[in-house]
Amino acid sequence: MRLRLLSLCLPLLGCSASVWAAGGRPMTTDDATLTNARSCQIESYFQHTTRDAQWWVLPACNPTGNFEFSAGAALDQAADAANAMQYTLQGKWVWPHAPGALTDFATAGIAFGAFYLDETHHGNEAWSSLFAYVPLTLRWTDSLQTHFNLGWNRDVIGHHDDLTYAAALSHDLGHDYSAFVELFGVGRAPPSAQTGGAFIFLNGTMQLDATYGRPLNGSWRDSIFSIGLEWYPLALW
């Protein structure tokens, strides 16, 4: 797929209530792939910072093979405010794959979506942001890939637009293990760096992962940690 949302923008990038969605667990950078054709998946993770803790659930389905739609909800437990809910919707299309040297090396697509907050800084429910981006994946070997995102985010509450960007290097350490490093940012805010890894089990249908990240100009107090569990079944129909 895969969808990963993230409110990483809030703790890591110092953004407003608008957030940028991207990435398949455990990365924030999105890869140019979809969940299995004619199937659905569920991603879930816990995200912790010194400012808040978030619990996310993100189901996604790929009914035809080339288009995936995702929905997500989160409970945001802020350290200095009442609990709030966040919601997201996202669609993603990947260029159909045809055998060949170029398509085996590079895959691209487009994704778009929106975030909804049940409580904004004005105390109202609102669609807080709209976004779109292009994911690109380059496969250098069977185990080494680079991923790039370039996109746009509309802060509906703040009435301004921002460029979004991300780049990641991922490496399969074995049949069931992988690790990554990445850099991502929104607008003119200082970028953030993140690293993490994943373990796949139960014949490739389950994944356990963890990440650690922080702004390049931040301290340990700005760090963010997450741990996730995902279910990626084979075709369901």
Q: What is the pLDDT along the chain (237 residues), one digit of tens a residue?
A: 444 434 455 444 444 333 444 557 899 999 999 999 999 999 999 999 988 999 999 999 999 889 999 999 999 998 888 888 999 999 999 998 766 656 689 999 999 999 998 865 555 667 889 999 999 999 999 999 999 999 999 999 889 999 999 999 999 999 999 999 999 999 999 999 999 999 999 998 999 999 999 999 988 889 999 999 999 988 887
- Within a domain: residue 19? yes
Task: Check if the beta carbon of residue 94 is closer than 8 Å to that of residue 69.
Answer: no
Kindly state the helix (H) or strand (E) to which residue 168 belongs, with its residue range.
strand 160-172
Per-residue pLDDT, 14: 43
- Within a domain: residue 224? yes
- Within a domain: residue 124? yes
Kindly state the helix (H) or strand (E) to which residue 104 belongs, with its residue range.
helix 101-105
Distance CA 197, CA 185 (A): 20
- Within a domain: residue 200? yes
- Within a domain: residue 217? yes
Per-residue pLDDT, 67: 95
Our CA angle for 79, 80, 82, nearest 5°, is 90
Distance CA 100, CA 85 (A): 45
The tokens for 53 are: 């803790």
Task: Check if the beta carbon of residue 17 is closer than 8 Å to that of residue 7.
Answer: no
CATH code of the domain containing 178: 2.40.160.40
Task: Check if the beta carbon of residue 85 is closer than 8 Å to that of residue 78.
Answer: no
Domain containing 60 equals: 9-231
- Within a domain: residue 2? no
- Within a domain: residue 225? yes
Closest CA to 8 of 161, 167, 162, 185: 185
Task: Check if the beta carbon of residue 113 is closer than 8 Å to that of residue 133.
Answer: no
Per-residue pLDDT, 158: 87
- Within a domain: residue 207? yes
Q: How many domains does the chain have?
A: 1
| Residue 60 bridge partners (DSSP) | 41, 70
Closest CA to 17 of 92, 81, 91: 81
Closest CA to 96 of 64, 123, 126, 128: 64
Looking at the whole model, is its pTM more than 0.85?
yes
